[in-house]
Chain A
Amino acid sequence: MALAITEDCVRCWACLPLCPNEAISAGAAGFDIDPQRCTECVGDFAAPQCGEICPAEGALVDAWGHALNPPGSLGGAPVAAAAPAPGPRPGC
């Protein structure tokens, strides 16, 4: 029972200090979760803390490879819905 970090990680550091088990590390190759330490936050929090704060869709996956934040789940949907979007202006 452990999560893993994929190539979609943007290396923002947000997850690292939140992990109750110090399972996350920042190495030269990117961010990584130690599967021996990760408990998916069970017993500590209602939801995996890394998954709750991660801004990158697809960066965190469970043991079956399912993304905690699948494509479209974190985007700024309200923008597209609410703002009639004028095209970029020349010179802007």
Chain B
Amino acid sequence: MPASLSSPSASAASAGCGASRCGGTASQIDALDSPLRQKVQDHPCYSAEAHRHFARMHVAVAPACNIQCNYCNRKYDCSNESRPGVVSEVLSPEQAVHKVLAVAAAIPQMSVLGIAGPGDALANAERSFAVFDALARRAPDLRLCLSTNGLMLPAYVERIVAARIDHVTITINCLDPDIGARIYPWIFWNHRRIHGREAARILVAQQQLGLEMLVARGVLVKVNSVMIPGINDAHLPEVSRVVRAKGAFLHNVMPLISDPAHGTAFGLAGQRGPDAAELAALQDACEGGASMMRHCQQCRADAVGMLGEDRGAEFTLEKIAHLQIDEAAAMQRRVALRAQINAGPGGTGAAEASAAVLPFARAATPPARGVRMAVASRDGRHVDQHFGHAERFHILEVDGEGVRWLGERAAARYCGGEAECGEQDNLLARTVATLADCEVVLCARIGMAPWQALESAGIRPDGEHAMEPVAAAAQAVWHALRDAGRLTAAPFEDQKRA
């Protein structure tokens, strides 16, 4: 739901995105050549901006896999890469096409269709390409992408290009076969099962060759790596450097998810996953390499919706079985919405459209009055910004029913560095005045002077929800206020107004 808490245009990336936090930052995207930029611009997984406005969907048509990873128990589903959790239904290619068309008719933000398992898209090549080829005909505006372990990639590069798939994610956990032998016990190759180091050597070679071939053909490539402490953690900065040198656009490091209860080889062997600090340190170490995608939320193979939410339950096969879809009209709606979103800084309508189409989650709480809050958020989704660094605030109306996004307000940046400090007090006062109708300001941190200025204006500064998702933080604050009995009186009644 916080997906729609955002500035409406991709061009706002320069204001909204600090260089180190988001995946494709403004400068990185600007640096891309134009066809590549076009590909990145409205991809909800790749662009730090676009993921707020556009929806993606994965269909589970590819159950089979041709390698074994020690972090995967095939009895359930791959718990790493882009697909933790259990995929509820394996679809036939025909079912998948119908489902995609139904979802794309209901959610005009739909712009990306991915095949990411539960197995390997290219170990199920016939099924995967049956879906891609049908959609290329019936919904040619959708971007297609696939995820693969890379083993069969070189064999299918031409087919990928022919199907006009422009995003491929390869999971690359190592370059060194000795490290690979500790991650992959076997692969299926040339009709035989191959074990050990030889298996890893072949897999690594195929991945690297596939990466090079895709880049040479102009296909956008993202690389995913699973961080496995003690096995490939020290090696991943090198992986990052190499894949970037070869032209991967993004490198995404994710933590090993390991639990004996999952029955994976790693889980049973007691191999632990990284803690948050270890993961962040490695992501920092890789940052000089391919751009890191930190807004990534690992999503399920059958996920439907904006990143971070899943509306799959609304589109089960049963519910869509007899749906009649006007494919042409649906496509027109999508294209129009996209044009609006991409129209630039003036396109406020896009964010409103997002809010209208994607209802906010409803909490079952008895009503007390609503509270207006301002949030300092750089990525539009988390309370991730220092009050003094915020160039704009998201304004929310929060009540027992949920969170409504009212819009955005520019802040006077009062703390822009030494040069501006002469004006500091003046700017602070202006910022506080901008937020005068808000009762709460959520931010990651806040200095003493602005804290006092806000308080004396009757606004509560709140730095206790740093890095939390915006909507969850706003709801938590609202509940705390209600529980403290502060929402029975009219706004500001219990506070001194400046």
Chain A contacts to B: CB under 8 angstroms:
10, 12-14, 16-17, 45-47, 49, 52-53, 55-56, 74-80, 82-89, 91-92
* B119→A92 contact, CB < 8 A: no
**Chain A positions within 8 Å of B185 at CB level:** 74-79
**Chain B positions within 8 Å of A84 at CB level:** 230
**Chain A positions within 8 Å of B75 at CB level:** 10, 56
**Chain B positions within 8 Å of A13 at CB level:** 63-64, 90, 119, 124
- Listed A/B pairs (19) with beta-carbon separation below 8 Å: A10-B75, A13-B63, A14-B63, A14-B66, A46-B192, A47-B192, A52-B188, A53-B66, A55-B65, A78-B181, A78-B196, A79-B266, A79-B269, A79-B271, A84-B230, A87-B270, A88-B258, A88-B270, A92-B258
B231 at the interface (CB under 8 A from A): yes
B interface, size bucket: 35 or more
Nearest B residue to A87 via CB reads B270
Interface SS of chain A: loop
* A53→B269 contact, CB < 8 A: no
User: Contacts A45-B191, A52-B188 known; A83 to B231 CB distance under 8 Å?
Assistant: yes
* A88→B266 contact, CB < 8 A: no
**Chain B positions within 8 Å of A14 at CB level:** 63-66, 119, 123, 188
Nearest Cβ on chain A to B112's Cβ, whole angstroms: 25
**Using a CB-CB cutoff of 8 Å, which residues 20-72 of chain B contact chain A?**
63-66, 68, 70
Report the separation of the CA atoms of residues A85 and B272 in the bound assembly, to the nearest whole angstrom: 8
Sample of 11 more A-B contacts, CB < 8 Å, known A53-B66, A86-B272: A13-B64, A13-B119, A16-B64, A46-B192, A52-B191, A74-B68, A76-B68, A78-B182, A83-B182, A88-B272, A92-B275
Interface SS of chain B: loop
**Chain B positions within 8 Å of A88 at CB level:** 258-260, 270, 272
Nearest A residue to B187 via CB reads A53
**Chain A positions within 8 Å of B265 at CB level:** 75-76, 79
**Chain A positions within 8 Å of B192 at CB level:** 46-47, 52
Closest 7 CB pairs of A and B: A76-B265, A85-B270, A13-B63, A14-B64, A76-B70, A10-B75, A53-B188
Report the separation of the CA atoms of residues A77 and B269 in the bound assembly, to the nearest whole angstrom: 9
B74 at the interface (CB under 8 A from A): yes
Report the separation of the CA atoms of residues A14 and B375 in the bound assembly, to the nearest whole angstrom: 49
Produce 1/0 per residue, B189-200, CB < 8 A to A: 001110010000
* A76→B269 contact, CB < 8 A: yes
Report the separation of the CA atoms of residues A55 and B120 in the bound assembly, to the nearest whole angstrom: 14
